[in-house]
Copies of this chain bind each other. A is one copy, B any other.
Amino acid sequence: MKFIIFLISFSFILSTTAQTDAEVLKNIYTTSLTNGNSYQWLDYLSNQIGGRLSGSLNAEKAVEYTKEELEKLGLDKVWLQPVMVPKWVRGTPEFAFIETAPGVTTNVNICALGGSIATKFGGLKANVIEVKSIEELETLGKDQIEGKIVFFNRPMQADLIQTFEAYGGCVDQRYAGAMEAAKFGAVGVIVRSMNLRQDNFPHTGSMTYGDLPLSDRIPSAAISTNHANELSSMLALNKDLKFYFSQTCQQLKDVQSYNVIGQITGSEFPNEYIIVGGHLDSWDLGDGSHDDGAGVVQSMDVLRLLKESGIKPKRSIRVVLFMNEENGLRGATKYAEVAKQKGENHIFSLESDLGGFTPRGFSFDCSDANFNQVLSWKELFKPYLIHYFEKGRSGADVGPLKTDSNVLAGLRPDSQRYFDYHHAANDTFDAVNKRELELGAATMTSLVYLFDKYGINPISNDKQIKN
C-alpha cells in the first residue's frame, strides 16, 4: 500500500515538476529527428523553386513560399519587411578555352563572378599571366600585366582544419582581384575556384570594383580547380598561350524584395528579442541547398520545434529569413536599421549559414560574462556530440545587430565538405543529409531555448530580468 502511495506521489511530482534542461533538450532532439520539417521544406525550396539570386523570380517565389509556410505554424505574427536589392543577371552560359596555337583549343569550365561586367561582344582573348596573390601584381608591374588576363591561382590551404580559414585566406583574389588587376592594365581576370577538391565545377561568388570608374572595369570569372591546374601546367610549357572567354552578365537596376519574418511573442519580456535566421537568397548555379537553404529551413524549424516541444518563450523569438546576403547584405542592413528605429532589444541573434552538415557547436561574438554562461551549458550538449563552443565570428546577416551587451552566434557545422559545393552547380538537395540537417535544427533550438530561459548578461542577470 505504501508502495502504491509512493508511486502515486512520484507520478504527481513528475507531472507537476518542470522538465530539467536536459529533458527539454532530449525532447527537442527527438522531435527534430523523428518529426522535424526542415528537410521537407528544403526539398521544396531546392527542387520546386531552385537557385534564388536576389532580384530573381525564384527569390520572390521563395519569399512567398516561406511566408506561407510560416503562416501555417500558428505563430503570433508573420510579415514581410521590404528592402531594395541589387539585381545582377548571368545571361547566357559562359564559354572559355585555352588556345595554344591558332585553332588548337581546350575548353575549360568557367562562370562569371557575381557583379562582374560582361566581356565585350564576341568575347575576350588575350595572353595570360599567372599570379598567386594581389601583392604579386605590384612586383610584376604594368609592364608584365598590361593587355593580359590575370590568372589568380592561389589554392585554398589544405592543412587548415577549419575550411573557412582556408577560404578566408584566398577569397581576396575573387573579391578584389579584378579591381586590383585593372589598375595595372589587365583586360580580364580568371580566378581559381574557392574549392579544396579537384573537380570540374567553377564556383561563383561576389566581387567588387570598388571606386573604379565604369570605363576601367574588366570582366572576371572563376575557373574550376581541375582547369586551373590545367591552365597553370599549359602556361608552364607555353607562356604565349591565349585564353578566351565570353560572358554576358549585367547589373540591372535595384528591385523590390523582402525579408521574411515570423514571431512568437514573449510571455514575460516581449521587447527582448531572440532571432534565429539564415539567408533566403542564394547564388544561381545550383539550388542553394547548403548555402543557405539549410540555414533557412533550420531557422524556420526552430520556431516550430519550440511549439512542438510545448515551450512557451518568455522572450519574443523571431525567425528572420534575410534577403541578399550573397551580393549586398541589404536585407540584414535593413533589418538592423528597423530594429534600431523601433528600439527593439535584440539580446541574442543566431545565424546558420555554414551548410547543413553535422553540427559541431557554435562560435560566439559576445562578452566574457555571456560566453561563460554559454560554457556553463556545454555539458547539456554532450549527449548530442556538440562540443565546439568558442569565441569567434557569428554570421554576416546578424552582424549588423551587434551591440556592446548582446550576444551574436553562428552555428558551426562540420566544415570539411562545405567548399565542395559552395556557390557551385552541385550545391543541390542531394548533397544534404536529412539527419545532419535535423541535428543542426535541434542544436539551434536548444541554444535558443536556453537563452530564452536564462537571458543574457548573467552577472547582473537578476536586475536585467526585473527591468
Once the chains are docked, how many angstroms separate the CA of A358 from the CA of B433?
Answer: 14
Interface contact B416-A30, CB-CB below 8 Å? no
| A387 proximity list for chain B (CB < 8 A) | 385, 387-388
Interface centre among A29, A34, A163, A434 (most CB of B within 10 A): A434
In the assembled complex, the CB of A203 is this many whole angstroms from the nearest CB of chain B, namely 16
On whether the beta carbons of A158 and B388 are closer than 8 Å, the reply is no
- In this assembly, does A60 line the interface, its C-beta being within 8 Å of a C-beta of chain B? no
How far, in angstroms, from A436 to B436 measured CA to CA in the complex?
A: 16
**Beta-carbon contact of B435 and A416 below 8 Å:** yes
Docked CA distance A387–B414 (Å): 13
Could you tell me if B29 and A161 are in contact, using CB atoms closer than 8 angstroms?
yes
Query: Are the CB atoms of A30 and B420 closer together than 8 Å?
Result: no
List residues of chain B with CB within 8 A of the CB of A33. 158-159
**Pairwise interchain contact B388-A417, C-beta atoms closer than 8 A:** no
Contact of A435 among B30, B34, B196, B388 (CB under 8 A): B196
**Residues from chain B with Cβ under 8 Å of A162 in the complex:** 385
Q: Which of B30, B161, B385 contacts A384 (CB 8 A)?
A: B161
Decide if A439 is an interface residue (CB 8 Å cutoff). yes
Q: In the complex the two chains form, is A388's CB within 8 Å of B388's CB? A: no
Chain B residues within 8 Å of A29, by CB: 159, 161
A161: contacting residue among B163, B383, B414, CB under 8 A: B383
Enumerate chain B residues within 8 angstroms of A163, measured Cβ to Cβ.
435
A436's contact among B34, B360, B388, B417, by CB below 8 Å, is which?
A: B417
Could you say which residues of chain B place their CB within 8 Å of the CB of A30? 159
Complex: how many Å from CA A227 to CA B116?
49
Can you add 16 more A-B contacts, CB < 8 Å, to A30-B159, A158-B435, A420-B433? A33-B158, A161-B385, A161-B439, A163-B435, A196-B435, A197-B434, A358-B358, A358-B416, A385-B387, A385-B388, A387-B387, A414-B414, A416-B433, A416-B436, A417-B435, A417-B436
Binding site for B on A (CB under 8 A): 29-30, 33-34, 158-159, 161-163, 196-197, 358, 360, 383-385, 387-388, 414, 416-417, 420, 433-436, 439
List 17 A-B residue pairs with CB atoms under 8 Å apart, sorted by A's residue number.
A29-B161, A33-B159, A34-B158, A158-B435, A161-B385, A161-B439, A163-B435, A197-B434, A358-B414, A360-B385, A387-B387, A387-B388, A414-B414, A416-B433, A416-B436, A417-B435, A417-B436
